[in-house]
Structure formats: C-alpha cells, structure tokens
Amino acid sequence: MAAPAKIFGALAEFRTTKELFHACEKVRDAGYKTWDAHSPFPVHGLEKAMGLSPSRVPWIVLVAGLTGASGGMLLQWWVSTTAYPLVISGKPLFSWQAFVPITFELGVLFGALGAVLGMLHLNKLPRYYNALFRSRRFDRVTDNRFFISIESRDPKFDAAQTMKFLESLGAMHVELVED
C-alpha cells in the first residue's frame, strides 16, 4: 500500500504580467502568507502588489561595513601603539590619516561579504530542490509564463478552496503540486 502523496501547494499559470500583477494583489488581500510569484523577468512594482516589506540586506551591509572599518582601524591602532610601537621622525604612534585607506578597504570588503551572505541567508539559499520543478508547466517560467504558487503550509491553505480561488483570478491553468 502506497502512502498518499504529500501536497506541496497550488500552482496557477498566467499569460501576462498585468494578469500576474492583479492576481498578486488579490492573493495578498485574501490573507495568504506563504506564497510567491514567479516570472521570467523582473516585474516593476510586483513587490508592492505582493505586500513584501523592504529588504533587510542594506542594514546587514551597513553593520558589516562598519564592523570591517572599525576592526581595520582598531587593528592598525593596536599594531602601531601596543604590538610594535616605533617612533619614526617624531611622528605620533597613532597617526590615523595613514590608516584611512586600509580602513576604507576593509569596510568595503566586509560590506560586500555582508551583502552576499545576507542575501543568501534571507533567500534561504542554496536550495537544491523545489517541488515546483515537478510541474511540467512550470518549465515555462524561464521562457514566457507567469506563475503564483501558494504553499500547503500556509495557515489558510485548503486544496479545493485555494484552487477555486486561483481559478477565479483568471489563471489559465491551476494544479496541485506534490512534494
């Protein structure tokens, strides 16, 4: 006896960006929380239609950049005043003007690393498998089709009602995707 297949969610296919945009607004207004829109290219304003909050990546970059810059300045201060205090031509041990290039470069380096690692973490990447890849129709998401997927772990998800709701949005095809 085979165990019943676990449902990943519902997948709706749309022809145009305009249809996708308006469908995203309706899904957002219906109160779904665990869903996504899929498009072969960026759609201007789609994040607002989906009700997404602003990205936290800029804050991660700021903290990482400031950490790198302050760490670079602190390291140079420690080296010149404590570890190897050399008085050359009567100059002070801590001459901050000479340390600006390294401080700047470490700020940029840590900021860039923070951007990449923060983006990967917030997007839950790398993700080696997604159940949507089981759908033959979803192959066209990289070509000329637009999709909305609502996952079954959404508190409001009910297979029959969600499929009926997606059909009412004007989707050309709606299907349940197995996990």
Please report, for the domain that includes residue 35, its CATH number.
3.30.70
Q: What is the pLDDT of residues 85-101, one digit of tens each?
A: 998 888 899 989 999 99
Same domain? For 72 and 33 the reply is no
Whether the per-residue pLDDT at 3 is higher than 90: the answer is no
Domain range for 100: 57-122
Residue 46 reports pLDDT greater than 90: yes
Q: Which pTM value belongs to this model?
A: 0.80
Count how many domains the chain has: 2
Q: Are residues 112 and 79 in the same domain?
A: yes
109-117, long-range: CB < 8 A, 24+ apart: 109/68, 110/64, 110/65, 110/67, 110/68, 110/69, 110/71, 111/61, 111/62, 111/64, 111/65, 111/68, 113/64, 114/60, 114/61, 114/63, 114/64, 114/65, 115/57, 115/60, 115/61, 115/64, 117/60
Average pLDDT for the chain: 94
Residue 88: per-residue pLDDT = 84
| Same domain? 76 vs 118 | yes
Do 156 and 174 have their domain in common? Answer: yes
Shared-domain flag, residues 112 and 81: yes
Domain end (from 105, 122, 139) = 122
